[in-house]
Amino acid sequence: YCVEFRTESLSHHCALETRPYARWMQYLREGHTVCVACQPPAMSTDTQRCSGDGHNAHGDKILHWEAIGNSQCQGTWKKIRQLEHCSCPLVHSFIFT
């Protein structure tokens, strides 16, 4: 499944990332919608859910995120909706880890 979030805030460290495999962090923006996929390596075998997916979080609940590979690139987002069938665009799509 996938979850759509609206980015509420992010640290300035995301924009400073220059390593080739992590340049995607430069494109994060406040107010943008991002789509995050929950796939088996990150999925709990007990709950069949990914940690941090915002399950039971709706409305104005602010959730925290952190980028893999750069713990200083972090911020907050709000859950918009969960999609049982992922249709994330190639841009602004991420995977839970």
E-strand ranges in 11-69 read 33-37, 63-67
Residue 93: per-residue pLDDT: 66
Query: And the tokens for 23?
Result: 């340049």
Query: And the tokens for 20?
Result: 């080739």
Alpha helices, DSSP H, located in 1-97: none
Residue 92: per-residue pLDDT: 61
pLDDT in tens, the chain (97 residues): 899 999 999 999 999 988 888 888 888 899 998 888 888 888 888 998 988 888 887 767 899 999 888 889 999 999 999 988 887 777 666 766 5
Domain count, the chain: 1
pTM over 0.95: no
Residue 91: per-residue pLDDT: 66
Is 97 within the bounds of a domain? no
- Residue 73 domain boundaries: 2-92
Query: And the tokens for 3?
Result: 């979850």
